[in-house]
Amino acid sequence: MAKYYTEPSRTFTEYLLIPNLSTKDCTPANVSLQTPLVKFKKGEKPAISLNIPFSSAVMQAVSDHHMAVALARSGGISFIFGSQPIEEEAEMVRKVKGYKAGFVVSRSNLTPEHTLADVLDLKEKTGHSTLAVTDDGTAKGKLLGIVKGSDYRISRDSLDKPISQFMTPYSSLIYGRLGITLSEANDLIWEHKINCLPIVGDDQRLEYLVFRKDYEAHKDHPNELLDANKSYIVGAGINTRDYKERVPALVDAGADVLVIDSSDGYSEWQRDTIQYVKANFDVKIGAGNVVDREGFLYLVESGADFVKIGIGGGSICITREQKGIGRGQASSLIEVTEARNQYYEETGIYIPICSDGGIVHDYHITLALAMGADFVMMGRYFARFDESPTRKLKVNNNFVKEFWGEGSNRARNWERYDSGGKSGLMFEEGVDSYVPYAGSLQENLEKTTSKIKSTMCNCGSKSIAELQREARITIVSATSLVEGGAHDVILKESGLSGE
Ligand code: IMP
């Protein structure tokens, strides 16, 4: 006979946090959102921690290299979508790893033979007032000089004057050597009262430019998630079909962590994939998705560095309707957390868990953390921002961004729904949709994290681990749900409403 669960399958909205005593030192400024990304032994530190408990979903409409840079800059991690050719995914990873915060590859370049007219023309096109002069006019050519606004006078100089006659030549330039840190570069900028510092490599090759204003922007991101070489940390999605070709390419490109992207991770395919990666590479790997104790332990025993929880709760997901499988996100999380904590007690190994999908309100994130998640993964949330890869459109007078599921006909990511046998997507498990456009990632994340920190203070917790230990959580009845929203008043329009 089938096994029946006695408890219904519950979602976040069915729960509320009950405040604990807030001590005076428990203020948002004292709250840390740092959290482990990968497993670690008791008393040791995880090899990778996040500075905020956010990851962006392994989806075409969410996680490309632009999103990865923006999110790592704010302290979280993106998993670049795997439903694209191997080389293209590896190239995105490479772009993130090659991105040096504050170091930019020069985008306006000319040769000494070009003229003042060419300078004015390029300035008009790009808006850049500092131009690099290289032997071949490329961004990585031999640096021969720099042209800035103070090097010429439009009223006096003739337009056909060659750059070689008015540029600041290399011999008079202040420059940094490749390998210099951003703060050392900034010291030179201040010391010599310049706005732009060229960074040169061997043979006088131009590598980067560092601008005074970019350093200021860099300082605005104290949570940046960087590796030992000061490159942004990035994850990448893989599947259980082509991992023997995909994983080497991603590791070679510099991926810090992989995740097997699947709608149902409780499978021997996942075990084989994890074991292949562990046997051949020194890279972290997460697995999933599962919704119960058995699935969790299976992936942990297969070697997973973290486990992703959630089936059927995603905003664009129709798996539950199509196949009748899945489980309420809160119930899944509660059961897996219990298994994880017990595993930790027995083995001394802590396995981080990621709550994936179904986050609608910001407080759902706090609830997920209180219920035991170490970080969350979100698709819809990030798809709304400037940094997501999809088009911004105006629909019915409102700005929206496109957002489609990996199981939709648009993405055709059949590997995510693979149950062995024939390849291809037989039926859809996701929809193609719009989400309301919400502006920049940084601004939204600041708002969300400040809500989380404030709630953690209500719960008397200064860290996620403390919240997981001390939180008190209650189920809400159907009628108290009504009480929770604005009720029995006539609402005026408010410009301050949030998620
Ligand atoms: P969201 O944050 O509620 O939008 O959920 C995002 C999550 O939904 C992803 O991280 C995936 O786990 C899951 N997902 C992505 N595409 C699909 C799909 O087409 N069908 C079902 N689930 C999906």
The predicted-structure confidence for 152-170, as pLDDT tens digits, reads as follows 998 889 999 999 999 999 9
Element (H, E) at 97: helix 86-98
**Set 26, 317, 457, 459: catalytic member:** 317
Mean pLDDT across the stretch 50-60?
A: 98
406 within ligand 1 shell (Cβ under 6 A): yes
Specify the pLDDT at position 33: 98
- For 267: left if phi > 0, alpha if psi spans -120 to 50, otherwise beta; the answer is beta
Same domain, 75 and 29: yes
**Set 327, 416, 457, 459: catalytic member:** 416
Bridge partners of residue 232, in order along the sequence: 226
What is the torsion angle, in degrees rounded to the nearest 10, for the CA atoms of residue 226, residue 284, residue 244 and residue 68?
-30
Mean pLDDT across the stretch 79-91?
A: 97
Q: Tell me: pLDDT of 497 over 60.
A: no
Same domain, 117 and 84: no
Same domain, 167 and 191: yes
- Cα(292) to ligand 1 centroid in Å equals 18
Asked if 209 and 106 count as a contact pair (C-beta separation under 8 A), the reply is: yes
Specify the pLDDT at position 99: 84
Residue type, 90: A
* Local confidence band at 495 (pLDDT 50, 70, 90 cut-offs): low
Q: Is the peptide bond before 20 cis (omega within 30 degrees of 0)?
A: no
263, 329, 355, 418: which to mutate for ligand 1, most atoms within 8 A of CB? 263
Q: Is residue 260 part of a domain?
A: yes
Average predicted confidence (pLDDT) for the chain: 93
Mean pLDDT across the stretch 93-97?
A: 94
Q: Is residue 270 part of a domain?
A: yes
Specify the pLDDT at position 216: 73
Q: Is residue 5 part of a domain?
A: no
Length of the chain (residues): 499
pTM above 0.75, yes or no: yes
Same domain, 388 and 316: yes
d(CA 473, CA 492): 32
- Percentage with pLDDT > 70 across the chain: 99
d(CA 190, CA 17): 49
User: Count of alpha carbons within 13 Å of 94, Cβ hemisphere only?
Assistant: 10
Tell me the CATH number at 266: 3.20.20.70
CA nearest ligand 1 atom 13, residue: 314
Mean pLDDT across the stretch 128-149?
A: 93
Same domain, 330 and 463: yes
Element (H, E) at 314: none
Q: Whole domain around residue 190: which residue ranges?
A: 109-214
Same domain, 47 and 94: yes
Q: Is residue 196 annotated as part of the catalytic site, yes or no?
A: no
Last residue of a domain, one of 182, 214, 246: 214
Ligand 1 atom at shortest distance from the alpha carbon of 403: 4
Q: Tell me: pLDDT of 498 over 70.
A: no
In Å, how far are 10, 311, 444 from 320, measured between CA atoms?
14, 8, 30
- Cα(170) to ligand 1 centroid in Å equals 53
Q: Tell me: pLDDT of 493 over 90.
A: no
Last residue of a domain, one of 183, 214, 245: 214
Ligand 1 atom at shortest distance from the alpha carbon of 380: 4
Tell me the CATH number at 119: 3.10.580.10
Q: Tell me: pLDDT of 43 over 80.
A: yes
- Range in 124-128, 132-136, 301-305, 437-441 with the lowest mean pLDDT: 124-128
359 within ligand 1 shell (Cβ under 6 A): yes
d(CA 377, CA 354): 7
- Range in 51-60, 463-472, 485-494 with the lowest mean pLDDT: 485-494
Q: Is residue 1 part of a domain?
A: no
Domain count across the chain:
2
Q: Tell me: pLDDT of 217 over 80.
A: no
312 within ligand 1 shell (Cβ under 6 A): no
Q: Angle 256-453-100 (CA atoms, 0-180°, nearest 5)?
A: 30
378 within ligand 1 shell (Cβ under 6 A): yes
Same domain, 179 and 58: no
Specify the pLDDT at position 361: 97
Q: Is residue 236 part of a domain?
A: yes
Q: Is residue 429 part of a domain?
A: no
In Å, how far are 66, 71, 236 from 246, measured between CA atoms?
21, 24, 10
Q: Is residue 490 part of a domain?
A: no
Q: What pLDDT, in 10s, does the model give residues 464-480?
A: 999 999 999 999 998 88
Q: Is residue 369 part of a domain?
A: yes
290 within ligand 1 shell (Cβ under 6 A): no
Same domain, 255 and 278: yes
* Local confidence band at 321 (pLDDT 50, 70, 90 cut-offs): confident
- Percentage with pLDDT > 90 across the chain: 79
What lies within 8 Å, CB to CB, of 491 at 6+ separation is none
Q: What pLDDT, in 10s, does the model give residues 322-380?
A: 889 999 999 999 999 999 999 999 999 999 999 999 999 999 999 999 999 999 999 99
Same domain, 205 and 250: no
Specify the pLDDT at position 380: 98
Same domain, 84 and 42: yes
389 within ligand 1 shell (Cβ under 6 A): no
Same domain, 184 and 295: no
Last residue of a domain, one of 169, 185, 214: 214
Ligand 1 atom at shortest distance from the alpha carbon of 310: 12
Same domain, 40 and 77: yes
Question: Which tokens belong to 300?
Answer: 């942990």
Mean pLDDT across the stretch 266-288?
A: 98
Closest-CA residue to 96 (of 120, 127, 64, 130): 64
- Range in 30-34, 345-349, 419-423 with the lowest mean pLDDT: 419-423
Q: Is residue 317 annotated as part of the catalytic site, yes or no?
A: yes
Q: Tell me: pLDDT of 298 over 60.
A: yes
Ligand 1 atom at shortest distance from the alpha carbon of 413: 19
Q: Which residue has the higher pLDDT, 498 or 66?
A: 66
